Amino acid sequence: MVRLWANLVFTVRLLRRHRLYSLISLAGLTAGISACLLLGMYVVDEVTFDNFHPEKEKIYRLSTKGSNITAGLTGLPIGPMIAEENQEIESVVRLLSYGKRVDVQRDQIHYNENGILYADSSFFSVFGYELIQGQAEQVLNRKEKIVLSQSMVEKYFPEGDALGKGLQVNGKVYQVSGIMADVPSNSDLQFSALVSMEDLNPQWAQVFNQDLFRIVCFTYLKFHKTPDPASLQASLDAFGEKHIRPWAEQNGSEEMYYYEAVPIEAVHFDHTNEFDSPKGNYTYVQIFGLVALFMLIIACINFINLSLARSAERSREIGIRKTLGAGKSSIRLQFFLETFIMSLLAYAISLILVELALPSFNQMAAKSFSLSILLQGKVILLSLSIIIAVSVLSASYPAFILSSFEPIHVLKGRLPRLGSSGLVRKSLLVIQFAFSMAMILGTLVVGQQMRYMKGQDLGFSHDPLLVYRIPSDTSFQRNLSGILKDIERLPSVENVALSSNVPGQGFGELMVRVETKNKLHEATMRYMSVDQDYLKTMDLNLIQGRNFNPDSAQDYSKAFIINQKTAEVYNWGSDAIGKRIQIGLLADDQATVDGKVIGVVEDFHFESLHHPVEPLAIQFTNSFVAYLTIKVRSDFSFTEEKIGSIWQKHDPGRITESFYLDEGFAEQYKTEERMVKIVGFLALLSILVSALGLYALTAFNLKQRTREIGVRKVLGANASDLAWIISSEFLSLLGLAFLLAVPFSYYLLIQWLDGFAYSISLDATYMLITAGIASLVTMSIIAYHAFKASEASAIYALKYESG
């Protein structure tokens, strides 16, 4: 304890005496630890998704696998059917969305909600979501009960007390039977209210229960004890053969569905499913984890290099201590304690930095972290052990070098020759450079890919298109024509169109039959329905045939417009008009809609550039639309205001949701946007740390060569000559680092770019820019030192080593 205190005092004095080095050392460590803390929070949060359920190892989610579909959903009766067969299953919870824009109202408070789920009554006994008021078994055990999250209570019951009160959902009154804490952000299931599965419309329930292939709900199974994966899969396969195959045959389907159970903890990274909640990206988690580790290692390397650089200055003190009888171990202990104190200080500063950085980091990473996460006992203990590890890692090598100084040499003022340490130092520098260059390269390429995607012609209008979500309730849909007429009348509005989908907001997939070589061929196609003004509003180019005609009854039921890609895939060429397409398939080549192609539009990107353009079938409709797209000529905010008041006039109390189509489309690149920001920020940080390290090492190098430089100066060398002398060594190290960084990061980046259907090609430009940035940083640091060395007195330099 005494020694720790004495060392603390000593370290603080050292820090004060050598302010610049201290600042650089501390800055490097702080940067590394801060980055590590932030990324660590991100990584831990991602890998602990749905970790809070008390018996999580017993909870599995079912997914459905068919020849052309993999979904994290199942048919409504599947869960209970499986449970009936399998005695190891304790309970089943099915969750079904209440709808996307559910009309929720209490007195004057009226919103559209999309977080309401139908749930089985076992919900709270299976999951760990916290029920604050109400009995777990009773809150959902019969009709017309609703469990609200705390935020919902605050929204609809500002007076606070909600239990037992009524709330209107899509016109039906529910009684609040329970209140739950808001769903934790690290849960894949995000919802704001639950109603009993018994409230499901009986007609729908009947349709869903009869059609095993109608995949509509999440199905969670809870087992009595953790199941054996192999035997569980075997029993699910057996279930498929026993129940699903006969049903499929009976119903004349060529398709067969199988089921798989995914542990709830693995669901977050399970990307195989369609129609699922937004998922974590395990690659990014791995990359961030790796980067966090690297940032810490870089900080340690930086610290080591700085310590070695400072060892010349420290050598005298150590010489004295050794002369006075200090053993190697006591010198090492002293150095370790110094480093530990430094790391601790850096950690404390990091906590402040993290607190300052959290708002922007949360925004970048779409998280809602707070500093309190880092201040829990367990986390502090973990951090402390990391700090100790960092100290040991950073202290051991310099301590070894410092403690081996021979006092008779250093006391004469002769700088110790760090023979073998030169290689270590150089290797460390190369690693540091390589990492920084990899980060620069990554930032350049990821950033360029983002720019490329955003700059890509998506095939539809470049003008700003204002999109409104249309509430689904029938009363509103009935009002729609009135609203449309009023909006069309606004002078600043050029066009108005209705559609079931808009680009960037998700497109359904349909089983279809299409005509190929005079035969009908089963396939899947993307699907949307639009009104007659959609093509014009969106500036979609018709390249064959014609648009829908509102006066033709035939067009409503039997006409399709397809995209170019469809014509390409089915080899229709310029002959697409008149080809048959069926949707709503029935047996024996019958279908509810059997229509013909009347037009072909140029391909446009209705999904993000991660995906290639797929065949699309567009149908004509004037009902059941979800989006209103408006082309505005001018006065955007004024027009928006006007449209808002029109909306209010026709449907008082409704809160409208609108967005610009291009912005909505760009939302799809959110994960990548985050990646760019985080990687860019880290690249900057790592360059900074490396630059600081380089700064110190150059200083060290110069100090070791004081005499040589003094002699050169006496003989007439100027700043640029000196710069060349110093830089030749560093530049070759830089080159080596470059050779290390490029293949590794190119490999990772190619993998990353593979995730996009449309991507930039990796050429040498990025390498050149990276090399350029790295050389520029290196050369400016060296130039600074060379200039300083050339300004210094040569006499001092020559006297310096003569002792």
Partner 1 sequence: MPVNHTVSAKKLALTFSGEKNQELAQKIKMIRTESISKIYRSKEVETIALNQVSINIESGEFLSVMGPSGCGKTTLLNVLGLLDVPSQGAYFFQGKNMVELNEKARSEIRRKEIGFVFQSFNLIEELTVYENIELPLIYLDKPRKERRALVEQVMDRMKMSHRHKHFPSQLSGGQQQRVAVARALVNSPSVILADEPTGNLDSKQGNEVMDLLAQLNEQGTTIVMVTHSAHDAAFSSRIIRLLDGELLSENRTSQNELVW
Nearer to partner 1, 102 or 306 (CB): 306
Shortest Å, Cβ 326 to partner 1: 5
Nearer to partner 1, 14 or 585 (CB): 14
Q: Residue 109's beta-bridge partner residues?
A: 106
Shortest Å, Cβ 331 to partner 1: 10
Shortest Å, Cβ 447 to partner 1: 46
Shortest Å, Cβ 319 to partner 1: 8
**CA atoms within a 13 Å half-sphere pointing along the CA-CB vector of 129:** 30
DSSP 274: B
CB count within 10 Å of CB 663 equals 11
Nearer to partner 1, 316 or 650 (CB): 316
Does 17 bind partner 1 (CB under 8 A)? Our answer is yes
CA–CA distance, 496 with 467 (Å, rounded to integer): 10
- Cβ-based burial of 541 (10 A; exposed 0-12, middle 13-18, buried ≥19): middle
Shortest Å, Cβ 321 to partner 1: 7
Judged by CB under 8 A, how many residues of this single chain contact partner 1? 25
The C-alpha angle with vertex 339 and arms to 333 and 344, in degrees rounded to 5, equals: 125
Does 417 bind partner 1 (CB under 8 A)? Our answer is no
- Cβ-based burial of 788 (10 A; exposed 0-12, middle 13-18, buried ≥19): middle
Among 407, 644, 664, 735, which residue interacts with partner 1 (rule: CB under 8 A)? 407
**CA atoms within a 13 Å half-sphere pointing along the CA-CB vector of 718:** 1
Of 574, 491, 560, give the one whose Cα is nearest residue 526.
560
**By CB under 8 A, which span of 223-231, 256-264, 311-319, 543-551 interacts with partner 1?**
311-319
**By CB under 8 A, which span of 46-54, 92-100, 404-412, 598-606 interacts with partner 1?**
404-412
Nearer to partner 1, 11 or 64 (CB): 11
**By CB under 8 A, which span of 318-326, 420-428, 597-605, 727-735 interacts with partner 1?**
318-326
Does 258 bind partner 1 (CB under 8 A)? Our answer is no
Shortest Å, Cβ 771 to partner 1: 39
**CA atoms within a 13 Å half-sphere pointing along the CA-CB vector of 236:** 24
Shortest Å, Cβ 325 to partner 1: 3
Shortest Å, Cβ 398 to partner 1: 17
Residue 630 in 3-state DSSP? Answer: strand
Instruction: State both tokens at 373.
Output: 């996460």
CA–CA distance, 333 with 403 (Å, rounded to integer): 10
Nearer to partner 1, 15 or 723 (CB): 15
Does 316 bind partner 1 (CB under 8 A)? Our answer is yes
**By CB under 8 A, which span of 317-325, 517-525, 544-552, 747-755 interacts with partner 1?**
317-325
Among 388, 411, 593, 769, which residue interacts with partner 1 (rule: CB under 8 A)? 411
Shortest Å, Cβ 395 to partner 1: 18
Contact 470, 488 (CB under 8 A): no
Q: Residue 443's beta-bridge partner residues?
A: none
Query: Following DSSP, what letter does each residue of 674-695 receive, concatenated?
Result: HHHHHHHHHHHHHHHHHHHHHH
Q: Residue 514's beta-bridge partner residues?
A: 521, 581
Q: Which residues contact 732 (CB under 8 A, 6 or more apart)?
A: none
DSSP 607: S
Site string for partner 1, 321-340 (x = CB under 8 A): xxxxxxxx-x----------
Does 319 bind partner 1 (CB under 8 A)? Our answer is yes
Residue 375 in 3-state DSSP? Answer: helix
Does 2 bind partner 1 (CB under 8 A)? Our answer is yes
Does 8 bind partner 1 (CB under 8 A)? Our answer is no
Binding site for partner 1 (CB under 8 A): 2, 6, 10, 13-14, 17, 316-317, 319-328, 330, 406-408, 411-413
